[in-house]
Amino acid sequence: MVVTESIRIERTKHSRISQVDFANLPFGKIYTDHMFMADYRDGEWKNSRVVPYGHISISPATPAIHYGQAIFEGMKAMKSPSGDVLVFRPADNWMRLNVSGERICMPPVPEELFMEGLSTLISLDQNWVPKDEGSSLYIRPFLFSADEYIGIRPSENFTFMIILSPVGPYYSTPVKVKIETQFTRAAEGGTGYAKAGGNYGAALYPAKLAQDEGYHQLLWTDGKTHQYIEESGTMNVMFVVDDTLITPALSDSILAGITRDSVLKLARKWGMRVEERKVSVTEIMEAARNGRLREAFGAGTAATIAHIELIGFEGKDYYLPAITERKFANKVYEELEGIKRGTRPDPFGWITKM
C-alpha cells in the first residue's frame, strides 16, 4: 500500500529522554520524543507522518470537542531481555479501533497505516521503552473528527494519531469495588462496546461518588435491571467460584477486552472450567457470603490483573480471600507478563516484534 511507503519523518532536534527518571515513572504524564499522525481528507488517508511530540492545532468548531466524535485504543510494548521491542496483540487493537469507529461514523483506519505508523514511531523512540521488569511503553492510538463544522452530522475529515508514554510498574494494590445499582455506564443499544470518548466522561461522576465513600472503582451492572454484573472501570471482570472461572458474556454494553480474551484462552488451555454468561449480582454476593467466591479480579491492559479485595453492596463490604491464595489470578498474571516480555513461550502468536 502506498501509504506505508510515504511516512514522512521529522526528527526532534532536542530529545527529552535524558530528563526522564525511568526509575520513577508516573502513569500517563510523560510522552516520548515523537508522535504519529495521518489525515483523512476527500475520502482518503493522506499525509502520514512522524513528527516531534507536541501540541496540535484544531478548529474550535471541531465536532470531537462538541459532540465526542473521538475513539481511542490502549496497548503496551515491553523490552525483552535481549533488547527486542515486543508489542502485545496490536492487530486486535487495530480491529477494535475500527469496530468502535463504525459505531460513531468514522472511516476505518487501514491495517497497514496502523501497523506501519506504530512500527515507524516505535523504532524511532525505541530507547524510550523501559527495560525494568514491570515497566512498559503504553501506546495510545486515537481517532477524532477534524471537520470545521458545528452542525451535527457524520464528519468528513479525521485525524488519526499515536502517542507513546513510558510507564512504571503498576503496583497492583488490590482494589475495593462497589456494585453500582443506580447509575448506568452503557445501555442496551448504546455505545458501551466501543472505546468512545463519551463513555468515559459519563462514568466519571458515579465513580467519583464511590471514591468519596472509599472505593477505588465501580462494578457496573446492566442499565435495564441493575441485576447483572457488566464490568469495572476500564477493566473486564472475572470471578472464580469453586473451581470455575466465570465472566459476563460480551454484549453491546461491554467492551471486548483483549486481556479478557487472553485470560480466557489461557484458562481453557489449562483445562479450567470457563463460563461466559450472564452473571447476576445475587449469585456473586451469595458465593461471597458462603465462601465459594475464591477470587475476583479486573482484566485490562493497564494492570493486566487487578485483584479485587472487597466488594461493597447495599452498604456492606464483603472481603474476599487473601491475595496470596488467589491461585488462578496469580498464575495467569505471571504467564501473561512472561509472554509479553518474551520470557515465556507464546503459543497463541500474540507477540509482534517491532
Ligand X SMILES: *Cc1c(COP(=O)(O)O)cnc(C)c1O
Residues near ligand X (CB under 6 A): 74, 195, 231, 234-236, 255, 257-260, 300-301
Specify the residue, 195 or 294, whose C-beta has the smaller distance to ligand X: 195
Specify the residue, 35 or 196, whose C-beta has the smaller distance to ligand X: 196
Contact predicate 289/321, CB 8 Å: no
Cell representation of residue 30: 510523560
Helix axes 327-341, 258-269, angle to 10 degrees: 110
Picking from 164, 113, 150, 92, the residue whose alpha carbon sits closest to that of residue 2 is 113
| CA distance linking residue 251 with residue 257, whole number of Å | 12
Specify the residue, 146 or 299, whose C-beta has the smaller distance to ligand X: 299
| CA distance linking residue 298 with residue 91, whole number of Å | 22
Least distance from ligand X to the Cβ atom of residue 192, Å:
7
Give the alpha-carbon dihedral of 99, 352, 125, 146, to 10 degrees: -10
Least distance from ligand X to the Cβ atom of residue 142, Å:
13
Specify the residue, 77 or 124, whose C-beta has the smaller distance to ligand X: 77
Least distance from ligand X to the Cβ atom of residue 12, Å:
29
Specify the residue, 48 or 199, whose C-beta has the smaller distance to ligand X: 199
Least distance from ligand X to the Cβ atom of residue 104, Å:
15
**Largest Cα span, the chain:** 63
Least distance from ligand X to the Cβ atom of residue 301, Å:
3
Contact predicate 199/186, CB 8 Å: yes
